[in-house]
Amino acid sequence: MNSHRKKVLLLALGLDILLGDPPNYFHPVAWMGKLIAVGKESLFLKRFRPKDHAFAELAFGAGIALGGSALVAGIASLPGKILTKPGCTRYEKQLYGLVEAVLLKSTISLRGLNNAAKEVQESLENDDLPAARHSLSWHLVSRGTSTLDERQISAAAIESVAENASDGILAPMFFYLLGGLPLALVYRFINTADSMLGYHTPDLEWLGKAAACLDDLLNFLPARLTGISILLSAPFVGGDASHVWSVMWRDARKTQSPNAGYPMSAMAGALNVELEKVGHYCLGIGGRKPGSADIQHSRCAMFLSILIASIGFIIFPFWTYIHDPHLRSIHQGAKK
């Protein structure tokens, strides 16, 4: 199974780079969003949703997050149960690998993220600030963009490339290798629920808290691994690894999110730029003011960091240790 997952992971990455995202009506993550929206917006649930009661709203939101996760995990396990039954043929095993790769590909957004950042970059290169603001708000950020200048647009795009390299690429890969397709899709469901419900507004403060906390927990390791991967990619984009480490060590905890600061501050250090969200944080203080060329460099760093992480995931013995009881027994015997 360990070898199988490595092959499926590489195939899923290849499919994403070649094909990109399918239309929403074929996209499992879009279906997840619709499921979460039903829990949030349907008239039936609105009628019975507890209001002005923090604990009840917290429980209701936890039901959406955990119930949806259980449903997604159950559906994700069906291809394996159907196609890998005892006595299945080699053809059925290959078909299962292809189905699994296609479904795993839906959790990864490498090409989509690159194209979204490239669109913002090209608008800035053409001195079209309105188009750059529109592309930024449409594809990458939820903050208001109508008053952002070129430097602020570039910074926001670079931050999104770094953060989504973790949330949208490395984290699904990590959880797939750890627990197969069900865990990868559960991660994507929780991440989607957080992006839809995890806001500090009167209507969502408690309703989205369970999804937000679960998302923070699940992203703890992937965010830090992404930061390290960006650090290792820094020399290939003109950066210095020791500088990246010092910036990440100093600035990673400046963001409200306990995880997003790690890949973002690593990217700031790798490009030697200052990434500021006015009124919230400033990462890489003392660096250059970013421009459109730095968006291109961040895209290169993203591809390199994912390549480095993929190589590490494939050769690192931790995955083999998890999935090979024989190796675990040898290790336990050596400790006695």
| 335 pLDDT higher than 50 | no
Domain count, the chain: 1
pLDDT in tens, 161-172: 999 999 999 999
Measured CA to CA, the distance from residue 331 to residue 70 in angstroms comes to 33
Q: For 164-182, b where at least 16 C-beta lie within 10 A, e where not — what string?
A: bbbbbbbbbbbbbbbebbb
Contacts of 134 (CB under 8 A, 6+ apart): 145
pLDDT in tens, 24-68: 777 888 888 888 888 777 544 555 566 667 888 888 889 889 999
Question: Does any domain span residue 267?
Answer: yes
Which amino acid, 302? Answer: M
Encoded tokens for 273: 């730029």
Q: Which of 153-157, 258-262, 284-288, 313-317 has the lowest mean pLDDT?
A: 313-317
Compute how many other C-beta atoms are within 10 angstroms of the C-beta atom of residue 2.
14
Question: Does any domain span residue 298?
Answer: yes
Q: What is the domain range of residue 26?
A: 2-323
Question: Does any domain span residue 330?
Answer: no
Compute how many other C-beta atoms are within 10 angstroms of the C-beta atom of residue 336.
4
Question: Does any domain span residue 268?
Answer: yes
Question: Does any domain span residue 335?
Answer: no
Compute CA 124 distance to the chain's CA centroid, rounded to the nearest angstrom: 26
Angle between helices 54-83 and 209-218 (to 10 degrees): 50
Question: Does any domain span residue 177?
Answer: yes
Position 334 confidence tier, pLDDT thresholds 50, 70, 90? very low
Q: Which of 78-92, 124-138, 169-183 has the lowest mean pLDDT?
A: 78-92
Which amino acid, 276? Answer: E
Contact 173, 313 (CB under 8 A): yes
pLDDT in tens, 279-331: 899 999 999 999 999 999 999 999 999 999 999 988 875 555 555 554 445 44
Average pLDDT, the chain: 87
Measured CA to CA, the distance from residue 197 to residue 182 in angstroms comes to 22
Question: Does any domain span residue 163?
Answer: yes
List, in sequence order, the alpha helices (H) in the chain: 2-19, 28-41, 43-48, 54-83, 90-105, 110-125, 129-135, 150-165, 171-197, 209-218, 220-233, 241-251, 261-271, 292-315, 317-323, 325-335
Q: Please report the pLDDT score of residue 333 as a whole number.
A: 47
Question: Does any domain span residue 256?
Answer: yes
